[in-house]
Amino acid sequence: MRVKLLLLSAGVILIGRYIYNLLYWVPPTPVIEDIIWKSGNNLTDNTIYPFRISIPQQDLEDLKQRLRNSKLSPPLQKIDFEYGINTNQLQKVIDYWANEYDWRKREQFLNAVPQFRTQIFGLNIHFIRVKPDAKLVGNKKVLPLLLLHGWPGSVREFYDVFPLLTTPRKEYDFVFEVVAPSLPGYGFSDAATVPGMNTAQVAKIMKKLMNRLGFEKFYVQGGDWGFGIGSNLVTLNPESVLGFHSNMCFHLYQTPLSIIKFILGSFYPSLIVDKKYEAKLYPLSKHIYSTISVSGYLHLQATRPDTLGVGLTDSPTGLAGYILEKFAWSVKAKWTEGPDEEITDLFEGKFAIDDLLDNLMIYWTTSSITSSMRLYAETFSPEFQSLHLNRIPTYVPTVCAYYPKEVLFSPESLVRDKFKNLVHSSHLPRGGHFAALEEPVLFADDLWKGYCILQNHINNKKQPC
């Protein structure tokens, strides 16, 4: 009898230890290896070269010809975006793109900010660097801010934000110097030619870029992949990041503990989420259905990005349909008709058509849609997941901004499992996934306030924010 009790006790202890490790195990911080992503470049060249966007005229003529030869299937009657992009609405975009959109004018606009490229691990990395006017800075501190975009966005998302962040405000004792890179494989940054370019490797490149610009310590902001890269950066190099701000703080299905908390919350929501945000997570069945309904693209890009990229690289109409759909559901767009059966409210009026086409042109003219989608496959790969970066807590001061139409929502109670030093959360009155492009003033105002709070926290001050 005593032997049985001992065996039973040992079994309970082993099971308990297994469960504890499953829920609370913290792996060691991995060392991310140096990889040469593209051969042929001078690996010792650390020069920062000025860069200007200049698309050959023959490429523009080819684009117009492809747009004018496009074919679309009609949508079902009384359908908005339930089946994907509404092709009646898409046709209007294509007609405008082919006949009215003026790339040369937009090219001048895009070139109005200082742009550069520099070689890092074999890749020419494109970035924008906007400094505040030295005459206006005075005694204010200049905070270096790494601004990270996601997919299917680009640095174009931030153009309206640059002047809002680099113009001093009298109520704050600091101002920003902004560095906004094109992620590797996006836009005017080179793409990797060997496998393995996941978010941890991108974070390594971003740190190298900031160090090359003279910033040993800096601040980070990101949404979408910008959040994933920023999260990896503060996990792998917490000594380099002074503070982290994200408009898509996410930690919902990232660890066994977060999954269990999420499920338990379906029985006792108040344990997980504030009452006024409960509907964003529960009932569980509705949340799961909603997530599945908008994430089909994710599975494709995480498994077969190159197959998907064949059509998107060859057809500007296909590229427009695929990318613009994401902007439509980010604002919960509806397709509406007036008395003359004309669309009266393009994407709910949240985005200017030229802004969306600028973003499309960055993907189209660089043929970077396939390489951009590979980031999903590399980051969902077993090799990357084996790093368990989401299980490693970070104590870098963090601020989260919640926009009401963001497609993903994680309550602060789950976010704190990863970001132990979450010093502030803001809930904005409007906006969605592409907040900087949709609501630039609101986005910038929240960054000013968020980094003011971070400054107070870091410096143990109590100035009003």
- Kindly provide the b/e burial profile for residues 255-293, where b requires at least 16 CB atoms within 10 angstroms of the residue's own CB: bebbeebbeebeeebeebbeeebeebbbeeeebeeeeee
One-character DSSP codes across 231-278: HHHHHH-TTTEEEEEESS---SSSSHHHHHHHHHTTT-GGGTS-GGGG
| Dihedral sign (CA 441, 444, 445, 446) | positive
Whole-number Cα distances in Å, 137 to 33, 132, 249, 312: 39, 7, 31, 45
Whole-number Cα distances in Å, 194 to 36, 118, 297, 309: 9, 19, 23, 17
Question: Which residues are catalytic, by number?
Answer: 224, 376, 433
- H or E element that contains 49: strand 48-50
DSSP strand pairing (115-120 vs 48-50) = antiparallel
One-character DSSP codes across 319-379: HHHHHHHHHHHHTT----B-TTS-B-SGGGG-S-HHHHHHHHHHHHHHT-HHHHHHHHHHH
CA 378 to chain centre: 16
Whole-number Cα distances in Å, 454 to 67, 299, 339, 424: 48, 36, 51, 8
